[in-house]
Each structure stands twice: as structure tokens, then as C-alpha cells.
């Protein structure tokens, strides 16, 4: 056998044509095998597909509309805002059964503290709200008082000091308190003089030789100046043959009596003007004729010019040593070169310094006023208020007034607001100096009618702080009590506490909500209890109270508020709420039509209604706005169902994460403390969608890929992706499919191509 094979192989090895044929055949066989295998295997697969399709047996067993979700119940304990928890647990309210949670109405007196403040008067100093006003401790809300009033004090001179040679004429300091025309009068003095001459001051060319003991002179009329005093007599002459002494003699012409004799003046033989002075200058009457004469001790030449008739007088029998009145004088017509030099007042001054007292307050301003006049016109009057800071009378600015005043009373006043206290000394004393000056030859009087020294200073300080409460309960209270604990760092502050009345839109000025007292001591506790219409004093959970301290004082003080507390009394109320979360993964917000709240409860009395509300996220408050029923539910004292539907406004009550807060509360305060048993309180969503029931009676798992809902007007395809195991019944809920109320056909298509049909007619 082996030999035969070997022989065939050797033959085959040497038969080249045979090898090619074999290769060709083999390749052909490979191709054929590939073709056959490919086609046959593919055909097998497709047959398997068809077989599986034929085996698939899916059917729609039921279609139903579903409208409500299961109940979502509380997952945490309820919050009791008003009232009291008695027994049970929130888990007892998750199902309708024999277990329940019990609550009862109770007296509620929540305490509130201010959460805001406004300093109405004064300046905030320290402290915070509410931290500083919650407890009676060392933490205060402190307000520094501010000026709220000023006072004026009026002062008048109590004395005076004359300046220079001023003399008092009449009146007293008491006449200076009113501007009434009753004067205190002072007289001026000559504060400045001028000199002049009268006589003949021109040198004459002729002369008379006057022998010793002879008295020669001429008549001249004195000027009209008042107060004239002759200082000297000057004449022109010389000794006739030697030196001589000459005395000037002033003689009144009317009776030729000597007025005064001058001192001897030695003269020489040189012609000159020689002056004989008076040791005691005599006064000179105005417009009076005087004979100005001389008497030598030796022969003297006395020069003259021709004068008027009898102007010249001479007495040949007089005495140089002791001149006598030349009553027997003879006359000639000579006008001798002789004249008197006299002085007269050219300026008068009246100067008075008035003094007075005042206070030592902290002046805000000083007003000083002088009403006065003079007995002559055009007197330059200077009024000066002594500046103790500089130690002098001002010459300009504050404390200085200048005016020209005549015979009519003029009121001069000045208001000093800058450092008014400079114009007093430490004891409050002040000085006003009045000086009237006039360049005149006649004396005048200063008539002071009214001199006033008025000081203004702060005498009232106020500290007022307003406290505001917010986010309080909005229940109508039966009583509102405010407790204010405060103190002041000075005694006897007039304190007013006022509560804001929202009905009258004003702070209360009397009665309840108003309290006034005089402070004394520290941490004074004051209670304001409002029993009449307490609801007027709160509004939407807000309240206001103002504490005001007023004191007539010249110094600031501190208002220190230690506690502001508000008791908000509500009787027999029950207000509780709980949170619920809707499963949005199952019930998306887009497919929810509304939300229902169901309560099963039992009340111990039926004296009032009970309300279900929900937190309105838009209004940020609990509300039943938009509910199908807002009238509440009257219990029967048995187990009652109370259901509300949030209708189309449900979205305002459901937060984006599905949270809804439900509030259960009573109608109002009453005299009965009601006990409430809650067996069930839940929330569910309402929608209008379809639930499909599929049954797979085939041996293979079916993959459902589409769902058809057809009616006369529309054929609508929905993609689905649902696997139904063999022998399994599956309920399939589609929230986006709304089944119409008319006839419809529902088809479901499998991935393999089978279609199951359900018709509703």
C-alpha cells in the first residue's frame, strides 16, 4: 500500500500538467465553498430572524387612563408655629389607618425683638440691633443726643466807668434796659484844643513912647469860640533908650477892669514882637470887647497903625508893679500892634464804659445792641465790646461798631456767632465802651437809651430712636406688649415711648401705646400693654416703636437702650406646616395638571373652620389663592376628609424640585382649645395620561420600539424602548400620551417587526 502511494506521488511529481489541474480545481472549490458558505449561512441567519419573528407573541392586554399619582406624605415632623404638639408622629399621618398624630390649640405668645432701627434725633454711637436690645445686659444701643432747642439770656449794664473827662449828667443804669426814650446822659469833654489870636498882629510903623507905669492898648473884639483861655499877650515894641520889662494886661472894655496881668517880659532896644504870658490863663468871653494893653517898667516904644476912633486907650497914671484897672483911661485912634494868643477847644469827646454780667453757658451767639443819640449832630460814635481773649477792645470785626450819630436815636446791633464767649470773662462779665467824638468847639452830651447784651445757647437736647419689627406673625393679636429697658447718662430726661398706629399712620400721643416718664436710675423697665385694638399696632408682621428722650440742658447726654421686646399674644391658635416632595422623576412638572392635598382629621369641637394652605413660592407666604376651595372646612368632630385642589395655580406652590409646604391652621382665636388628630395628610399630583399593559406570550423576549395611538384625525407614533420578557406582563405609563375620549387604536411594534393592536371603541 505504501509503495503504491509512493509510486503515485512520484508519478504526480513528474506529471506537471496534472499539478496545474489540481491547483485550479482546488481554487475553484475554494471559491464555490466561500459562495456556498456565505449564502447558506446568511440564509440561515435570516431564517432564524424570520423564525424568531414568527415565534414572537406580544399583545396589548389593557389600556387605561390614569389621573392621579400615589400620595406623597410627610417625611419629617411637622413644624408647629402656633399651638402645641401632643402625641404621635408624622409617620402616623402617612396612611389612613388607626394611628394619628395629635395637636392642640394653645396660647401663643411669640417674642420678637427689633431687627431694624433708625436714629430719628441724635447720633448713633454704638450697638447693634437686635443683639444689643435682646437682653438686659451691658450691651446697649447708644444714641448721643443732639441739640433740639436754644435759649436766650438778656443782660443790661449794671455799672459804668467814665472815660477821660466825661461827666455823668443824669439817669442811671436802670434806664438802659428799654428802648423807651429815657436816657442815661453823659457829657463830653474837650479832648483837643487849638490856638488862635485876636488883636492886631501886623507890625505898625508908628509908635508911641510909653513911659514907665503908663498903660497903653487898643480895643478888640474876642472871637466866638467857647472855652477860650488867653495864653499870652504879644506886642511889637522896643525899649526907648534901654532895656525894660513889660507886662501884658487884658482889660474888659465894658467896665475897664483888668481881667489878667501877664508876666513881665524883658525887652531890648530892638524892635520886635515880645510876649507876656499868663501864669493863670484867663478865660475869654465870646464876642466881647477887650482892651489889650501893656505897661512897661521903663520907657518903651509901642508901635501902631491908625485905627478906629477911640480904639486906642491909655492910662498915664497906673502902676507897673501893681497894675490897676484903667477906669480913667483916655482914648485915641491908634490900633496898636498887640494881640492875645488864646486857646479854645476844637474837639469834644464823650467816653463811657458800661459793665455788666451774664452767664457762663456755651453760647452759640451773642447779640449786643446800643440805642443812643447825642445832643449834637455828626458825632462819630464808636461802640466796642471787650474781647477777653485778646485782652483789648476790638478795632474791627466782631465787637466793634462805628457810626455817625446825631440827635436822633440810632440803634446799633451786632451778632457774634464766632467765639462769642471771647467777649466775656470767666465769670460772665462783659464791658462795652462807647466813645463819641466830634471836632467842634462846643460840648455835647451822649444819651444812652438802651444797651442790651443778649446771649443764645443750647438748652435742649433730644435723643430719639425708632425700632422696627418685621417678619412677625400676621395673626390678629389679642394683646401686644412692648417692654423697653433703657437708661440715660444724666438724670431727669423726659422720656416718651410711642408705638406706631398703623390705623392712624402716626405714633400714639396718648392712651395705650404711649408712655411718658422722667428718667432716673439705670435700666428702667417700662411696659406698654396694648389691649384695645392691638391689631392696629401691627401690620403684615411689622411694628414700630420710638423711644425719645428730651432734656433742657446745655450738655449732650446718651440714650442707652438695653432691651426692646415685643410680646405678641395670640390665644388658642393652631398653625402647623409640613413639607412634601413630589417625585418629579416619575411625574415631571411639565405633565402635572394640578396638585391635590388631602387631610383626614378629627377636631374636638366644631366651633371654627380649619384651613389648608400651601406655601406660595411666588408670594413668599402661605396662601390658598387659586385653590378650588378657600372657605375652609368645618369639622364634624368625627373623622373628616378635607381635600383641596390647587387648580391651575398649582405651579406657584410647587418648587422646581417638587417641594410643597402645606399649612394647616385654624380660623381664628377663640375661647376653646381645640384638639386636632391628624390621621392622614398627603399631597398628590393630578395628570391625564395613559397606562399600557403588555403581555409577552412568546418564548422570546420582545423589544418594543414604538407605540402608535391612532384616532380618526391623527396617527401618532411614540418611540419607546421597553423589553418584555417571555411570559411577563408589563405596565407602561406614558405621561406624554393623552388618550382621547373618542375611539382610538393603539399599536405597539417590536424590534423584530411584529405589531400588536388594541382598539378602544
Partner 1 sequence: MARKLRFFHDKRAITPVLSNLLLMVVAVAAMTIATTATYVITTNLRETMGERLIAEDLWFNPSGCISIYILNVGKTSIQVSAVYVNHTKYSFAPTPFTLEISEHGWLNVSCGWVSGNVYHVDIVTKRGYHVADYYKAP
Instruction: Count the site residues for partner 1 by CB under 8 A.
Output: 28
Closest to partner 1 by CB, 46 vs 330, is: 46
* DSSP string for residues in 227-272: SEEEEEEEEEEEESSS-EEEEEEEEETTTTEEEEEPPPEEE-SS-E
Name which position in 6, 43, 195, 509 contacts partner 1 (CB under 8 A): 43
Q: Judge contact between 114 and 565, C-beta under 8 A.
A: no
Minimum Å distance from CB 618 to partner 1?
Answer: 43
517 binds partner 1 (CB under 8 A): no
749 binds partner 1 (CB under 8 A): yes
Longest dimension (CA), the chain: 224
| Closest to 237 (Cα-Cα) out of 337, 154, 88 | 337
Q: Judge contact between 214 and 293, C-beta under 8 A.
A: no
295 binds partner 1 (CB under 8 A): no
The residue range among 266-274, 488-496, 576-584, 751-759 that interacts with partner 1, by the rule CB under 8 A, is 751-759
Minimum Å distance from CB 710 to partner 1?
Answer: 7
Minimum Å distance from CB 714 to partner 1?
Answer: 9
Closest to partner 1 by CB, 39 vs 668, is: 39
Closest to partner 1 by CB, 149 vs 753, is: 753
| Closest to 704 (Cα-Cα) out of 745, 749, 755, 734 | 749
Q: Judge contact between 472 and 540, C-beta under 8 A.
A: no
C-alpha 59/C-alpha 750 separation (Å) is: 10
Closest to partner 1 by CB, 43 vs 411, is: 43
Minimum Å distance from CB 53 to partner 1?
Answer: 8
C-alpha 219/C-alpha 124 separation (Å) is: 92
- Interface mask toward partner 1 for 704-733; x: CB under 8 A: -xx-x-x-xx-x-x----------------
Closest to partner 1 by CB, 688 vs 751, is: 751
Cross-strand partners of 221: 289
Closest to partner 1 by CB, 33 vs 178, is: 33
49 binds partner 1 (CB under 8 A): yes
The residue range among 46-54, 280-288, 326-334, 434-442 that interacts with partner 1, by the rule CB under 8 A, is 46-54
Indicate the helix (H) or strand (E) that contains 437.
strand 430-438
Minimum Å distance from CB 28 to partner 1?
Answer: 8
Minimum Å distance from CB 14 to partner 1?
Answer: 18
Name which position in 6, 21, 38, 404 contacts partner 1 (CB under 8 A): 38
Determine whether 685 is exposed, middle or buried from the number of CB atoms within 10 Å of its CB (0-12, 13-18, 19+): buried
Closest to partner 1 by CB, 29 vs 79, is: 29
The CA-CA-CA angle for residues 651, 655, 661, to 5°, reads 95
Closest to partner 1 by CB, 90 vs 708, is: 708
Q: Judge contact between 567 and 111, C-beta under 8 A.
A: yes
Residues 18-37 that bind partner 1 (CB under 8 A): 27-28, 31, 34-35
C-alpha 569/C-alpha 530 separation (Å) is: 10
Print burial letters for 158-169: b (CB count within 10 Å at least 16), e (below 16): eebeebeebeee
Name which position in 22, 39, 224, 518 contacts partner 1 (CB under 8 A): 39
| Closest to 683 (Cα-Cα) out of 660, 655, 653, 649 | 660
| Closest to 431 (Cα-Cα) out of 687, 159, 243, 651 | 159
CA dihedral 666, 670, 673, 678 (to 10 degrees): -10
Closest to partner 1 by CB, 18 vs 67, is: 18
Minimum Å distance from CB 634 to partner 1?
Answer: 54
Minimum Å distance from CB 99 to partner 1?
Answer: 52
| Site residues (vs partner 1, CB under 8 A) | 27-28, 31, 34-35, 38-39, 42-43, 45-46, 49-50, 53, 705-706, 708, 710, 712-713, 715, 717, 747, 749, 751-753, 755
Amino acid at each position: 500500500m505504501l509503495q503504491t502511494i509512493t509510486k503515485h506521488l512520484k508519478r504526480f511529481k513528474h506529471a506537471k500538467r496534472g499539478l496545474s489541474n489540481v491547483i485550479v480545481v482546488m481554487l475553484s472549490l475554494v471559491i464555490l465553498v466561500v459562495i456556498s458558505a456565505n449564502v447558506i449561512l446568511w440564509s440561515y441567519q435570516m431564517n432564524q430572524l424570520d423564525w424568531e419573528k414568527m415565534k414572537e407573541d406580544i399583545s396589548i392586554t389593557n389600556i387605561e387612563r390614569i389621573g392621579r399619582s400615589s400620595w406623597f406624605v410627610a417625611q419629617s415632623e411637622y413644624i408647629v408655629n402656633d399651638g402645641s404638639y401632643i402625641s404621635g408622629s408624622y409617620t402616623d399621618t402617612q396612611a389612613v389607618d388607626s394611628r394619628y398624630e395629635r395637636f392642640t390649640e394653645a396660647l401663643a405668645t411669640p417674642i420678637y425683638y427689633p431687627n431694624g432701627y433708625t436714629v430719628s434725633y441724635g447720633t448713633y454711637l454704638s450697638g447693634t440691633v437686635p443683639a444689643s436690645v435682646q437682653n438686659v445686659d451691658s450691651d446697649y444701643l447708644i444714641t448721643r443726643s443732639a441739640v433740639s432747642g436754644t435759649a436766650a439770656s438778656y443782660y443790661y449794664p449794671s455799672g459804668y466807668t467814665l472815660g477821660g473827662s466825661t461827666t455823668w449828667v443824669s439817669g442811671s443804669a436802670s434806664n438802659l434796659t428799654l428802648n423807651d426814650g429815657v436816657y442815661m446822659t453823659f457829657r463830653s469833654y474837650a479832648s483837643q484844643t487849638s490856638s488862635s489870636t485876636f488883636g492886631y498882629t501886623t507890625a505898625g510903623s508908628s509908635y508911641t513912647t510909653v513911659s514907665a507905669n503908663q498903660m497903653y492898648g487898643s480895643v478888640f473884639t474876642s472871637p466866638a469860640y467857647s472855652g477860650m483861655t488867653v495864653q499870652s499877650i504879644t506886642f511889637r515894641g522896643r525899649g526907648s533908650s534901654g532895656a525894660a520889662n513889660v507886662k501884658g494886661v487884658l482889660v474888659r472894655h465894658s467896665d475897664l477892669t483888668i481881667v489878667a496881668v501877664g508876666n513881665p517880659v524883658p525887652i531890648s532896644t530892638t524892635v520886635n514882637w515880645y510876649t507876656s504870658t499868663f501864669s493863670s490863663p484867663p478865660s475869654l468871653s465870646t464876642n466881647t470887647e477887650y482892651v489889650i494893653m501893656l505897661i512897661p517898667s521903663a520907657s518903651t516904644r509901642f508901635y501902631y497903625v491908625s485905627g478906629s476912633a477911640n480904639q486906642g486907650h491909655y492910662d498915664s497914671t497906673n502902676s507897673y508893679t501893681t497894675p490897676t484897672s484903667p477906669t480913667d483911661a483916655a482914648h485915641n485912634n491908634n490900633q496898636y500892634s498887640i494881640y492875645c494868643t488864646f486857646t479854645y477847644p476844637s474837639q469834644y469827646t464823650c467816653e463811657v464804659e458800661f459793665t455788666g454780667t451774664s452767664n457762663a453757658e456755651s453760647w452759640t451767639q451773642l447779640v449786643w445792641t446800643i440805642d443812643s443819640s447825642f445832643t449834637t449832630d455828626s458825632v462819630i460814635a464808636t461802640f466796642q465790646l471787650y474781647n477777653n481773649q485778646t485782652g483789648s477792645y476790638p478795632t474791627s470785626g466782631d465787637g466793634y461798631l462805628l457810626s455817625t450819630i446825631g440827635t436822633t436815636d440810632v440803634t446799633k446791633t451786632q451778632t457774634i456767632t464766632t467765639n462769642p464767649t471771647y467777649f466775656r470773662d470767666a465769670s460772665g462779665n462783659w464791658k462795652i465802651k462807647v466813645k463819641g467824638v466830634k471836632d467842634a468847639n462846643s460840648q455835647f452830651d451822649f444819651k444812652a437809651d438802651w444797651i442790651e447784651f443778649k446771649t443764645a445757647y443750647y438748652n435742649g437736647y433730644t435723643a430719639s430712636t425708632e425700632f422696627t419689627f418685621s417678619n412677625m406673625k400676621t395673626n390678629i393679636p389679642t394683646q401686644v406688649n412692648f417692654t423697653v429697658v433703657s437708661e440715660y447718662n444724666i438724670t431727669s430726661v423726659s422720656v416718651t415711648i410711642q408705638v406706631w398706629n398703623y390705623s392712624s399712620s402716626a405714633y400714639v400721643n396718648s392712651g395705650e401705646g404711649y408712655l411718658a416718664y422722667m428718667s432716673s436710675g439705670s435700666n428702667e423697665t417700662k411696659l406698654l400693654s396694648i389691649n384695645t385694638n392691638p391689631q392696629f399696632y401691627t401690620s403684615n408682621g411689622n411694628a414700630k416703636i420710638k423711644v425719645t428722650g428730651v432734656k433742657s440742658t446745655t450738655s449732650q447726654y446718651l440714650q442707652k437702650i438695653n432691651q426692646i421686646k415685643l410680646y405678641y399674644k395670640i390665644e388658642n391658635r393652631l398653625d402647623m406646616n409640613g413639607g412634601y416632595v413630589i417625585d418629579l422623576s416619575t411625574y415631571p412638572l411639565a405633565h402635572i395638571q394640578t396638585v391635590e392635598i388631602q387631610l383626614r382629621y378629627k377636631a374636638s369641637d366644631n366651633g371654627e373652620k380649619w384651613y389648608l394652605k400651601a406655601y406660595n413660592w411666588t408670594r413668599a407666604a402661605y396662601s390658598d389663592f387659586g385653590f378650588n376651595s378657600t372657605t375652609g372646612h368645618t369639622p364634624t368632630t368625627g373623622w373628616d376628609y378635607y381635600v383641596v385642589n390647587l387648580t391651575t395655580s398649582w405651579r406657584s406652590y410647587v418648587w422646581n424640585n417638587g417641594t410643597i409646604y402645606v399649612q394647616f391652621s385654624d380660623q381664628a382665636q377663640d375661647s376653646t382649645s381645640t384638639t386636632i388628630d391628624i390621621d392622614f395628610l398627603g399631597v398628590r399630583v393630578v395628570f391625564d395620561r395613559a397606562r399600557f399593559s403588555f403581555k409577552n406570550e412568546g418564548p422570546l423576549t420582545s423589544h418594543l420600539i414604538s407605540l402608535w395611538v391612532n384616532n380618526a384625525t391623527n396617527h401618532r407614533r411614540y418611540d419607546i424602548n421597553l423589553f418584555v420578557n417571555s411570559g411577563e406582563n408589563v405596565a407602561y405609563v406614558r405621561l406624554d400620551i393623552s388618550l382621547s375620549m373618542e375611539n382610538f387604536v393603539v399599536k405597539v411594534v417590536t424590534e423584530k417587526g411584529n405589531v400588536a393592536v388594541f382598539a378602544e371603541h
